[in-house]
Amino acid sequence: MFSTRIAGTGSYLPERILSNFDLEKLVDTNDQWIRERTGIERRHIAAPGEATSDLALKASQRALEAAGLKAADLDMIIFATITGDQLMPATACFLQEKLGCKSIPAFDLAAACSGFIYGLTVADQFIRTGMHKNILVVGAEVLHNFINYKDRETCILFGDASGAFVVSRAEAGDKNVIMSSHLHAEGSLAELLVVNGVGSKKPLSPETFGSEDSYVKMKGREIYKNAVRVMSQCAQQALEHNKVKIDEVSWLVPHQANTRIMEAVANHFNFPQERVINIVSEMGNTSSATVPVAFDTAVRDGRIQRGQIILFTVFGAGLTSGSMLLRY
């Protein structure tokens, strides 16, 4: 069996910004409430016509450049998203065309905010078995089209972004590799976070179009409690599996949904808050993009260094969850 290393990372945030003050003009909310309850100050919103694959292209090009690879070197594209360009075909195929790497397999993976760790885990399996050498894993979302800007409980949370990792077969003896991943889902909690008006159960119709059913609906308190529970459990599982103590972890990179959720997970382990990568103030919750964007930001600003142990822990609609431990 081979091992998988993170060869390069990239991210992209659209230029347009929606601040808490902008939201004050749309719904009955205020900057102080949003900052205190979520830690979010602004989100980035894709321009009209800017699709998920466009965002993904920019992050992917940056990841390829950081890896010192060309699109032609890629063996596969795994695209984690719940807001693809269109229902069919997979957004991964549009990205493949835009990158110009013809004929390699390309598919979407829908695990909501856990999607990127699901995608990395799938890529890791293909590399471990020797089937592929270089895989592009993307997490990208244009969520704002699915947000009801009349619903103050959801519209304050979400933004658009893309992040990408190029993962590659490690040289024999390389210690900077993915150490483990653990994935879970609890379908019994699926109703807590949904967009239920666009699909086979309720096909798009004049009744559903533009109704509440076309937007994200969420039971916030329930999601909050379950998020703290499952992210702590998944992180614990990663540590126990590898017999690694929490003090050996250099950086915790949790799903960026809400600062209070991240703080609660870190407190569960008595882990110092200053070693949690938290950029939610800058971008809100961008679902599958949060982990790769947070990680890439911290790599580029010099916080995350080669050789350090990194712990990812995530949750999302489904209710999906997962963790990954790696030495970068």
Using CB under 6 A as the criterion, which residues of the chain lie in contact with ligand UT7 when the complex forms?
Answer: 29, 33, 37-38, 113, 152-153, 156, 193, 218, 220-221, 223-224, 227, 257-258, 285, 316
> Rounded distance, CA 226 to CA 314, Å?
11
Q: Shortest gap between Cβ of 313 and ligand UT7 (angstroms)?
A: 13
Choose, from 93, 101, 113, 234, the residue flagged as catalytic.
113
Distances (CA, A) of 97 to 94, 104, 114, 325: 5, 10, 26, 32
32 vs 270, beta carbon nearer ligand UT7: 32
Q: What CA–CA distance (Å, rounded) separates 317 from 133? A: 31
Residue 117 in tokens: 């760790």
113 is known as an active-site residue: yes
Is 242 marked active-site?
no
CB of 106 to ligand UT7, least distance (A): 25
Q: How many Å separate Cα 6 from the centre of its chain?
A: 16
Nearer to ligand UT7, 101 or 113 (CB): 113
| Alpha-carbon distances, residue 181 vs 4, 150, 163 (angstroms) | 12, 38, 19
Residue 164 near residue 10 (C-beta atoms within 8 A): yes
Q: How far is CA 209 from the centre of its chain?
A: 27
Q: Reduced to 3 states, what is the DSSP secondary structure of residue 224? A: helix
Contact 50, 57 (CB under 8 A): no
Q: Which is nearer to ligand UT7, 237 or 285 (CB)?
A: 285
Beta carbon of residue 99, minimum distance to ligand UT7 (angstroms, whole number): 28
Residue closer to ligand UT7 by CB (options 63, 314) is: 314
241 is a catalytic site residue? no
Kindly name the residue from 134, 234, 255, 278 that is annotated as catalytic: 255
**Catalytic, out of 20, 226, 258, 285:** 285
Residue with tokens 């609660």: 264
Q: How far is the CB of 33 from ligand UT7 (least distance, A)?
A: 4
Please give the positions annotated as active site.
113, 255, 285
